[in-house]
Chains A and B, each alone.
Chain A
Amino acid sequence: GENVEQHPSTLSVQEGDSAVIKCTYSDSASNYFPWYKQELGKRPQLIIDIRSNVGEKKDQRIAVTLNKTAKHFSLHITETQPEDSAVYFCAASRGTALIFGKGTTLSVSS
């Protein structure tokens, strides 16, 4: 079945730096790749997503890139702020299911 690997598991940056989280997936049929942010005690919130017919998508300080040949996709956060501190999950579609990576705990210190 689909497997999603996410790295790193923890990431500490200084405010204003960039953060990059990488994911790889195994199922070549996956065609939808969302990223969720989960703050402590809260529900996962979609921050950006990309579909297989697009190579890159940006939304203000957040961007996602997708390389279907290599089966990997990445989340880029620029000009990080303390409120970006949270756990970030990548996911790949398997039909109607989302298969999630294990998460990256991002800490942004001021």
Chain B
Amino acid sequence: KAGVTQTPRYLIKTRGQQVTLSCSPISGHRSVSWYQQTPGQGLQFLFEYFSETQRNKGNFPGRFSGRQFSNSRSEMNVSTLELGDSALYLCASSGTSLADTQYFGPGTRLTVL
């Protein structure tokens, strides 16, 4: 099976702009989780979608949002970008059970200038 894919791989934006990142899960996987990775804070959970519904949410401001489509592909959006949003954004897909293994995509490197 093809692995988790993410597009774009790199993005450069300026403060105040918004950005949309995309994630395609492994075929058959219905859960997609998003994580932010920074050198200072490590890997932090943003949110998780299952069957087009947000099932779990981390402690991030409302500027961070996401959605999932009927084919399980997911997007996350960050509005009004801040310098501190510069990070590697990783998505992970898993099956249907609550504790299924999560497989990560290669990530999108976002730089906010």
| Chain B residues within 8 Å of A, Cβ to Cβ | 31, 33, 35, 42-45, 48, 50, 55-56, 58-59, 90, 92, 98-99, 101-107
Q: How many A-B residue pairs have CB under 8 A?
A: 59
Stretch touching chain B among A17-25, A42-50, A61-69, A71-79: A42-50
Given A43-B90, A96-B33, A97-B33: A102 touches B105 (CB 8 Å cut-off): no
| Chain A residues within 8 Å of B, Cβ to Cβ | 1, 31-32, 34, 36, 42-46, 49, 51, 89, 91, 93-103
Are A89 and B102 touching (Cβ within 8 A)? no
Are B43 and A96 touching (Cβ within 8 A)? no
Classify the secondary structure of B's interface with A: strand
Q: Residue of B at shortest CB range from A31?
A: B99
Are A96 and B98 touching (Cβ within 8 A)? yes
Are B56 and A97 touching (Cβ within 8 A)? yes
Classify the secondary structure of A's interface with B: strand
17 contacts between A and B (CB under 8 A): A1-B59, A34-B101, A34-B102, A42-B106, A43-B104, A43-B105, A44-B104, A49-B101, A93-B99, A96-B50, A96-B55, A96-B98, A97-B58, A100-B42, A100-B44, A101-B42, A102-B42
